[in-house]
Amino acid sequence: MTRTALIVGATGIQGSAIARQLADEGWTVLGLSRTPQPQEGVTPVAADLLDPASLATALQGLTPSHVFLTTWLRMPTEAENIRVNAAMIRNLFDALRPVGSLQHAALVTGLKHYLGPFEAYGQGRLPQTPFREDQGRLDVANFYYAQEDELFAAADRDGFGWSVHRPHTVIGQAVGNAMNMGTTLATYATLCRETGRPFRFPGSAAQWNGLTDMTDARQLAAQVIWAAGTPAARNQDFNIVNGDVFRWRWMWPRIAGWFGIEAEEFDGTPRPLEAQMQDDAPLWAEIAAREGLAEPDLGRLASPWHTDADLGRPIEVVTDMSKSRRMGFTGYVATDQAFFDLFERLRQDRLIP
């Protein structure tokens, strides 16, 4: 079987992990993004998903057997999210249709499938936890649903298989990514160590005390690739998390310990990172210059707003992934080790001191 992967969003936190694993497994890997960056084992493809002419030109002569969709564009309203992100997927499959080489397409979305979009996040009647794939959609407009509908329509029309993958918060490396808790916490801990400020949990008591889970980007990549080659996984949706559960009151001191600092005891008062880090960009630039770091712009490493949204939720979020387990997917990653592995890589790549 010809195995040529087109990864849409190949430089992002999810796409880069998928690209790395596919390249290691001997696939031909094409990485599509608006501004490609050098990636080992990946042939860059520069295109704008909102520009059909750009897509047609960029994809000319390419015959991907598999597509992995890991990108989206955030707009001011959910109506605009739906319009723009649906168009991106529709334009891609329209551009690929004349070639007729596609066998499988995987779409990565997330737990906002169960929790609602940004405008109605965690509001209204939510399904009970742990979230399961058979709980279906919420009765609310959601760009994830629009993305799925475009995928389903193209697959029905053109005869390829599909899979949908819903991670929880993803731990992985991607400079310039708008939703990156691992690197955000790494920069925050570094700043606390540098200044002597307390390492304060920014979120809610519900998150501090309740059970939760997360998704290592490598675990996501493993499931996405497994589904692409597993007949039983054809035309199925899957949750994907690491396989363990934890409480932040246990995890927070472990992260602090890795950086050689003490975690402040949480008193139940949320102290969002967006406020704690709002004046830290000049200090980070000084640290980067002194330590010879590769990225002096704190805004390209940290996304406090997104970490605040995750850690400030007033509800428990736990994910069931029995569906893929029953089909044979056995991947597992301990979440504390996922953080530690990321921190080591950030240090090796000179992104943190």
The rounded distance, in Å, linking the Cα atoms of 161 and 26 is 22
Residues 237 and 34: beta-carbon distance below 8 Å: no
323 flagged as catalytic: no
Phi, psi angle pair for 332, to nearest 5°: -150, 140
Q: State the pLDDT at residue 244.
A: 97
Q: Which sequence spans correspond to the domains of the chain?
A: 4-167, 175-212+245-316+334-349
Exactly one of 144, 188, 323, 332 is catalytic; name it: 144
The residue type at 67: V
85 contacts 70 by C-beta, under 8 angstroms:
no
Tokens 């979305």 correspond to: 109
pLDDT of residue 124: 66
Point out the residues of the chain with pLDDT beneath 70: 1-2, 122-124, 178
In contact, 161 and 276? CB cutoff 8 Å:
no
Predicted local confidence at residue 178, as pLDDT: 64
What is the per-residue pLDDT for 123?
67
* Residue-wise pLDDT tens digits, 309-348: 999 988 889 999 999 999 999 999 999 999 999 999 999 9
Active-site option among 112, 188, 323, 332 = 112
Q: Check: pTM over 0.75? Answer yes or no.
A: yes
Q: How far is CA 90 from CA 46, 78, 151, 253, in A?
A: 18, 18, 8, 45
Q: Which CATH number fits domain 4-167: 3.40.50.2000, 3.40.50.620, 3.40.50.720, 1.10.760.10?
A: 3.40.50.720
Work out the number of other CB atoms within 10 angstroms of the CB of residue 329.
19
Q: How far apart are CA 107 and CA 90, in angstroms?
A: 13
